Structure 1
Amino acid sequence: MSEQPGSLLPPSGFDAAWCATDLGKYRACRYTYEYYSLESLPPLDSSQFTGVFRWLGDAGAPIPRQVRKLNGLARDLAARGLTLPRDFVTFQTTENLYGSLDEVSVTGCWTSISDPLPSPVEPGAFLVRFFRDQQDCVIWYLYLRPMSEVFVVYSHLDYEFEYEAWREGEETQTDLGDAEEQRAAILWCAPSFEEFAHRFWIENRLWHAVDDRELPLLEPRLQDYLNHYAPPGAPV
């Protein structure tokens, strides 16, 4: 399958980078996570992102408790003129998709869905946390704007905690009223939830393969991704 780059142009006002860990000797990482420029990433086949996650197989049956939770979140957002993306709802409410990123994460990341959180940089926009590192080194959010514009961002800040501390008059890690500081703390990383999930899933599976020295057993889509960093025949 030919690779076609997706939309990797971040919205105006946001810096962009992919936050991830190493891929063994093929991509270095100085700490637990590194910020990688969008230009350095392997392109993805945008035609596969149809909102049903066919690359993960059959979605399976709905999970009633998750359906109730996402319906409640959708109502909260609708009252603010915002809409949850269908791909996110599908992923978080079906038995064969929900938790897939937790299972593959090599750094102990886990699903953690928050209530709507006001964007500290843009009136009318909201954040919904959906995924976090086990030590909160990085936290991923849906960023929702009016007119159904939604993309994925991440930050080192847990905005749910920051807003709770601010409301209770406690000390916060950041100045929520400083728009410049907040823009520096929020980085764009994917144009849709499914594209984020796909790249995260591919890279974390690939990390296991590289670490376990199972490269000869790589399935084609993993090998194609790795070839971006180490083309066949190139020294590594």
Structure 2
Amino acid sequence: MKKLLLATALLALTGGAAAAQTVRLGTEGAYPPFNFIDDNGQVAGFEREVGDELCKRAELTCEWVTNDWDSIIPNLQSGNYDVIIAGMSITDERSKVISFSENYFPPAASAYVAAEEGADLKGVISAQVGTIQAGYVAESGATLLEFATPDETIGAVRNGEAAAVFADKDFLKPYVEQSNGELMFVGDDVELGGGVGLGFRQSDTELREKFTAAIQSMKADGTLNAALKKHFGEETPLF
């Protein structure tokens, strides 16, 4: 069955023999391990590895562009880049304004992190603006405190502005592990969204199909699962 899926995906990738085109990949560069800027000033992380491999399989020349999260969808629509690859969860609300590929990161847990075990999760909770976590907090009965960058949401807990931060658990893990006990997970994990996908302008159907075929081929031959385990650990959900 896997061989059949792989053959189908590769056929979709190579069909048409279209001339190579340059595609700009837009990411935030501030959400490790999904994406971040390394010591050489280059985009790095799970999405850099996956994005480069997707472009190779789709026979596309790709360039990386960084953009602040709070304007990442408007700047896709205005043509500053062609694809969003920035840890963006697939949601019905976002699907009204952009189109998504098949997911390349499965639905995963969001979690609360606080500076004390008895943190009031109905109090002030920090989250990054425009995220599904911010939407969840706003509807949870807690007081939402939004910030433009993910690091600021952690800082709000450290300095006492917020009782806890709510974000992707995979993003929060390194902060907890490196805090020497100053930060800890509290409350229950929450699964939100339909996994992480690439975002496209709704008119770019052909480009979306090329990338979706490439994602399917990475799933079929195990390359995507290998990248997931490399960047998120052996316990991460797999395809």
TM-score, length basis structure 1: 0.26
Q: Which has the higher strand share?
A: 2
- Greater RCO (CA < 8 Å, at least 6 residues apart): 2
TM-score, length basis structure 2: 0.26
